[in-house]
Amino acid sequence: MICVLGRQMKFLVLLLLVVSQCAKAHNPLIVDIISSENFSQRYQAFLQGRSVLDITDFRPSTQGSHIEIIEMVLLQQALFLGGETREVVFNPKPSVNILEFTDMIAGESLILARTVWHEDVINYRGSVYVSDPVVKFGEYEAGIYVAKRNQALHQTTPDGLEQLTLVANPRWRVDWHALTNSKMNLVSFIGPWESMLNMVETDIVDGMLVNFSVSESLQLVFEGRDYVPIEGVKMVLPDSRHFIVSKRHPEGAQIFAALNRGLKELRRRGVIRKALTESGFINSKVRDWSVINRAMLPQESRP
């Protein structure tokens, strides 16, 4: 049965490819993206001339966080698999516009290239389609990073965590929720991420919550300073991440249907998991580390 379906799917994909080649030049698919993220250069660096649809190797070729590039690739692959074969054109927009979702609600913007936290869009569910999760609840993990020179903290025990003070931005609601569900002390700081790292560096706080680095040692290097995660413990960011599509946009329903279909297929094929793992977003090095806020996970998915 699966085999037959697979064959049908292949046929369908081929057919759609042919159709898309014809329509390509006339009607490209506009995907909004945050202009500040310097996506284009990094995106091209990742592709290295490969076609986005051919990418099966998601290992990073660029420095720094990689998830937004992976999402751009997955979005296109999902749309294509879901039957939306038009050429994707990324349309840079200021982050304020995008994160307030006003264009999306009004139907002026069709789709975003980045996933969003589910909690941020629950009030707009009447206006936007929310895709199946790209990052499932509980998959997003982060470490408690401390200054590398602060040797004493590297091996902090679970009991010792209560003595730590971390800096966190209460506007990053998911991070904030994760941290308030631990016994660590928090310093609330609203400002640039770099300043938070400086606070760690200058011992104003002991550490901060940061995505695990893709480097072999999990070490994070920023402006020549090294940061390492406290060994053996990690935190789950308690939410899922989704693509959203405007309901008001004339093409919204169609694009969402294609996207969600494609995502289901990618999920089924294990591509999403592979992409997240290979990109280092799901970090196998910390697989056995204990989750500080495991109580926040739904009971059925607790380790």
Q: Which residues bind another protein (CB under 8 A)?
A: 102, 105-106, 118-119, 121-127, 130, 137, 173-174, 176-177, 180-181, 183, 238, 247, 293, 295-299
CB closer to another protein, 126 vs 224: 126
Question: Tokens 């064959």 belong to which residue?
Answer: 7
Q: What's the closest the beta carbon of residue 123 comes to another protein, in angstroms?
A: 5
CB closer to another protein, 62 vs 102: 102
Q: What's the closest the beta carbon of residue 120 comes to another protein, in angstroms?
A: 10
- The 8 Å CB, 24+ separation contacts for 176-179 are 177/238, 177/239, 177/296, 178/142, 178/209, 178/235, 178/236, 178/237, 178/238, 178/293, 178/296, 179/209, 179/235
CB closer to another protein, 46 vs 140: 140
91-119 CB burial, b ≥16 within 10 A, e <16: eebeeebbeebebbbeeebbbbbbbbbbe
Biggest CA-to-CA distance, the chain? 63
Q: For residues 268 and 256, what is the distance between their CA atoms, to the nearest angstrom?
A: 18
Q: What's the closest the beta carbon of residue 59 comes to another protein, in angstroms?
A: 33
CB closer to another protein, 14 vs 295: 295
CB closer to another protein, 173 vs 273: 173
Q: What's the closest the beta carbon of residue 238 comes to another protein, in angstroms?
A: 7
Q: What's the closest the beta carbon of residue 148 comes to another protein, in angstroms?
A: 30
Question: Tokens 């899922």 belong to which residue?
Answer: 240
Burial of 223 (0-12, 13-18, 19+ CB in 10 A): exposed
Q: Give the DSSP letter string of 43-63.
A: HHHHHTT--GGG-------SS
Q: What's the closest the beta carbon of residue 53 comes to another protein, in angstroms?
A: 31
CB closer to another protein, 100 vs 194: 100
